Structures are given as C-alpha cells and as structure tokens.
Amino acid sequence: MKVRVQQEDFDVGTEIAAMRRSRPKIGAIASFVGVVRDVNDGDSVATMTLEHYPGMTEKSIAAIIDEARGRWEVLDALVIHRVGTLKPTDQIVLVIVASAHRGDAFAACEFIMDYLKTRAPFWKKEITPQGGRWVDARVTDDAAAERWQQPVSKVK
Amino acid sequence: MKVRVQQEDFDVGTEIAAMRRSRPKIGAIASFVGVVRDVNDGDSVATMTLEHYPGMTEKSIAAIIDEARGRWEVLDALVIHRVGTLKPTDQIVLVIVASAHRGDAFAACEFIMDYLKTRAPFWKKEITPQGGRWVDARVTDDAAAERWQQPVSKVK
Amino acid sequence: MITLLYFARLREALGTGQEQLAQPASVNTLGALRAHLAQRGGAWAKEMAEGRNLRAAVNQTVATADTPVSDGDEVAFFPPVTGG
Amino acid sequence: MITLLYFARLREALGTGQEQLAQPASVNTLGALRAHLAQRGGAWAKEMAEGRNLRAAVNQTVATADTPVSDGDEVAFFPPVTGG
C-alpha cells in the first residue's frame, strides 16, 4: 500500500507492472486516472494549481486505503496525487487497486477516489481568461462519497 | 472505440496516453486489467490457453461497448483481449473507458468487463498438475452481468 | 452448403473444428440442425443432446433453437464463454 | 505556542500561511480559537465568522468546534477540499 504526493507525472503502465510483479494471487487490477479538463463550470481553463497539506494529506489517503481494505479484499493499492501547476490533458491523480477478483478491485478503487475527493486535503485553483479562482467543493462529490455509507452489495 | 484480439502483451500506460492525447474533454479514465492467477478453484495453474471465435468475438465486444455508450457518457473506449497461451501474472484483458466524469467512466468500464465475461466468445483451458481442463462458466459472472439489468444510479 | 464451427471443449470432444454440410431438407432451424447432428451418434449424440449446456451462433450472432438456418450460413456451436 | 496553518483561498484572504500563537488563557478548544482569531477584525472577522464554510484539523486530524487545543498543537484552517 503506497501513497505518493508529487509534482512529477506518473505512468500507469509502469505502476501496474510493478504491482503485478511476482504477485500471482492478483487476478484483477482496477485503476483510475483523473485528468485536467479544458473546461470547468462553463469557463475555459488554461492552467490549474494544486495545493496540499504536507503530512496530513498523505495520512488522510493512507486512512482511506485502510478503510477500503476493511471493506473489500485488497491485495495491493497505490495512490499518486500530483501537486503544483498542471494544464489541460495533464494527469492529476492515479488510484490502482489489485485484488483476486474484479468486483473487489472496482469497488475499492471507486471508493478510494470518492473518499479522496471529499476527505484528502487538496485544493485546486484554476486560471481562466477571467483570472484565478479557487474551485468550490461539489455537492455531487459529497453525494458520491455518501453512497458508500449504505450497505454495499459484493459481486466477485 | 477500438477492439483488439491479439497474442501480444499490452501496456496500459501507452494505451491511456494515446487516449488522452489531444482530448481535453476527458476528465476521467477508468481501466481494468485481468491477470492470470496461479490458483483457480483450488488447483495450481501452470499455463492457460485462450481460444476465441475470430470475427464474432470482435463484433460481440464492439456491441458491448455500444451498449455502454448508450447508458453512460463515454468519450472513448478500448478493449484488448489476449489469446493463445499465458502463464500466471500475465495480463489477459484490458478495458479502458474515458469520460468527462468519473462515475460514468467507472460504471461503463465495469459494465463492459461484466458483459465481456458472459457474452464475448472466449474459452479458457487451464493446464494444472492434474492435466488440461476447460474452465467452466461461473454463476457469479452471470450474476455480475445481470445486475446491470436493473436501473443504475448515476453519480457524476 | 452450411459452414459448421465447433469451439473449445466441444471441438476437442468432436475431434473437428470446422466442416461443410449440405443443408438437409429437414433442417430449417438451429434446433433441427442440432438434432440432425446428434443423430450421428457417439460423441455427437452426447455433445448435441438437448440437456447439454450448449450455445450457438448463426452468422456470428447468438441464436436460439428457432433461429432460421439457410444455405450459405455460418453456424457455430460452443460451450458457455469463459473469457476476461 | 500553537502553530497555525492556513491553506488555499483562506491563506490568500488572510495574507499568511503560517503563524505561531501563544495560547490565550481563554482558548482551550478549536471553537474558542476560531472566535479568538475572528476578533482580529478585517479579513479575519470575515473568514473566521461562524457562518463561513471552514474546515479545520488539530494535529493533522479533522476537528470540530469542541476539539481540545493545547500548547504545542498544530492547528490548520482550510476551505472544503477539492482534490482528485
């Protein structure tokens, strides 16, 4: 289980290959990449700057992964979140979950993303033609995280 | 939207990079990699041979992707499925779905995997210490595909 | 002629993956074709028996017993799929 | 001393990201600390006002108004998070 907060880009293939290596119990790897879009709330976005809370951010993500491990069968997990200035089409965040079965891998991966969105201390500032603006938290993100409070059906 | 059935291995990072390139509407990329495990139904697996129905397999997968596009906002999708002889820790299948939003990307990716498992003409033969055996279809795979028949809640 | 294809466990049990069959007069549906093949006896009788969990496609589209079968069609028989 | 941290929009509005504060005698909880900071007036009064949607952590753990605050603690104030 690894958490990395970094300015550098990442490569999904490299990370998945490292996770698979010598781990013959792994049958399913679900992953998610968040990408900077060129439009948000109707305005075009030139660049985006991500700020975090060093220390607490890493601890929060580790706690989210631990919670996922308590709910599903997780053989390994990795979260990489970039900070600093990014532009449209740049990768922001990577979540990879390996499990024996695909149902667990998908559920744990989506759970980690939803919780990361609402619990990990990151803040986005977008530069648009109208100037800089801090992105507001989304009600839909809270709703996405909250649905995991209900009992979840397990499909393996 | 692309479908490839091939003997060669694939690299998730390369495929995701190709999908992202010059596509600034993409905000979310969900992917899944299926991997050969060293144990199935309690027996150790030395190698596995995958057979398919050339022509129908590609058409079936294309139809599954089309169905996903009708249900969720899908900006791009790719399915690669390997055939031939594979060994534990080898990659078998890759599904990538790109969308503006993560809820659509996750749902469409898992849907495609579940339907591929039960609808695309592939057959697995495992070589174990007890000899070769064709893998039986799983009731749990049918259940996983069937749950998509019910109305699906959309979280963006 | 009808092109017949057999896959996976079925291909091995029947000892063939492909054959050309002149359409018998009595065979106008997939169900009738299956019954016709079962009459060959031996492995054919066993594998094509009504109780067997067998899937089929006509011209690469999933088919059922009442799906029409015509001269020139490609008909495939195979076990439930296990990919992914 | 208490270490105070401010992030993102809050950091910009207050014009500072970090300060050391000698613990006032009246301040034993996060809520009391917030009220104390609001009394500085200007941007502080506005940003620390009770109605503002502000989050906080004490020693890097999410905290609420009744969370105890002691000498040596690290207290952070920040807007709702927007990562991912």
Q: Following DSSP, what letter does each residue of chain D receive, concatenated? A: -EEEEE-HHHHHHHT-SEEEEPPPTT--BHHHHHHHHHTT-HHHHHHTSTTS--EEEETTEE--TTSB--TT-EEEEEPPP---
> Is A116 an 8 Å CB contact of chain D?
yes
Residue of B67, B124, B120, B59 whose CA lies nearest to B97: B67
Domain presence at residue B156? no
The shortest CB-CB distance from D8 to any of A118, A120, A134 is to A134
Q: Average of pLDDT values for C31-37?
A: 97
Distance separating the N- and C-terminal Cα atoms of chain D? 34
C52 CB within 8 Å of a chain B CB: no
**pLDDT value for A1:** 84
pLDDT exceeds cutoff 80 at A41: no
Question: What ipTM does this complex have?
Answer: 0.92
Q: Which residue of D has its CA nearest to A48?
A: D83
pLDDT score of B156 more than 50: no
Please state whether at least 3 CB pairs lie below 8 Å between chains C and D: no
CB contact under 8 A, B123 and C8: yes
- Kindly list the distances between the CA atom of residue D72 and the CA atoms of D23, D27, D28, D58, D82, in Å, as whole numbers in the listed order: 9, 13, 12, 11, 29
Q: Do D79 and A137 touch (CB under 8 A)?
A: yes
Q: Determine whether the interchain pair C83/B59 forms a contact, defined as Cβ–Cβ distance below 8 Å.
A: no
Whether chain C has a CB inside 8 Å of the CB on B40: the answer is: no
Q: Examine residue A59 and state whether it is found in any structural domain, yes or no.
A: yes
In a domain, B101, yes or no: yes
Contact yes or no for A56 and D76 at CB 8 A: yes
The type of residue at D45 is A
Assigned domain for A52 exists: yes
- State the amino acid at position B58 in one-letter form: E
Indicate whether C15 pLDDT > 90. yes
> Could you report the per-residue pLDDT of B68-96, keeping only the tens digit for each?
999 999 999 999 999 999 999 999 999 99
The one-letter amino acid code at B128 reads T
pLDDT value for B130: 84
Subunits touching B (CB < 8 Å, at least 3 pairs)?
A, C
Q: Indicate yes or no: pTM above 0.95.
A: no
Contacts of D57 in chain A (CB under 8 A): 53, 56, 121
* pLDDT interval class at A152 (50, 70, 90): low
B154 within domain boundaries: no
Tokens of D82: 């927007």
The shortest C-alpha distance from A151 to chain D (Å) reads 24
Q: Quickly state the pLDDT bin for A40 (edges 50, 70, 90).
A: confident
Q: What is the mean pLDDT of chain A?
A: 92
Report if residue A155 sits inside a domain: no
Contact A143, A114 (CB under 8 A): no
- Is pLDDT of D82 > 60? yes
Among partner residues A53, A81, A116, which is closest to D7 by beta-carbon distance? A53
* CB proximity C3 to B under 8 Å: no
A84: in domain: yes
Domain of B49, CATH number, reads: 3.90.1170.40
Query: Using CB atoms within 10 A of its CB, is residue C62 exposed (0-12), middle (13-18) or buried (19+)?
Result: middle
**Yes or no, beta carbons of C83 and B120 under 8 Å apart:** yes
Q: Write out the two tokens for A124.
A: 């986005």
Percent residues over pLDDT 90 in chain A: 74
CA separation for the pair A81, A116 (Å, rounded): 10
Pick the CATH number of C2-78 from 3.30.830.10, 3.10.20.30, 3.60.20.30, 1.10.1660.10: 3.10.20.30
Residue of D nearest to A32 (CA): D84
Q: Is the pLDDT of residue A19 over 90?
A: yes
D13 closest CA partner among D65, D83, D69, D77: D77
Q: Is residue A102 part of a domain?
A: yes
Range of the domain at A137: 2-148
State whether A134 and D82 contact (CB < 8 Å): yes
Number of domains in chain A: 1
Percentage of chain B beyond pLDDT 90 is 74
Average pLDDT of span A106-126: 96
pLDDT band at residue D51 using 50, 70 and 90 as cut-offs: confident
CA angle centred on C48, ends C47 and C50, rounded to 5° = 115
Residue of A nearest to D76 (CA): A53
Which pLDDT value is given to residue B56? 98
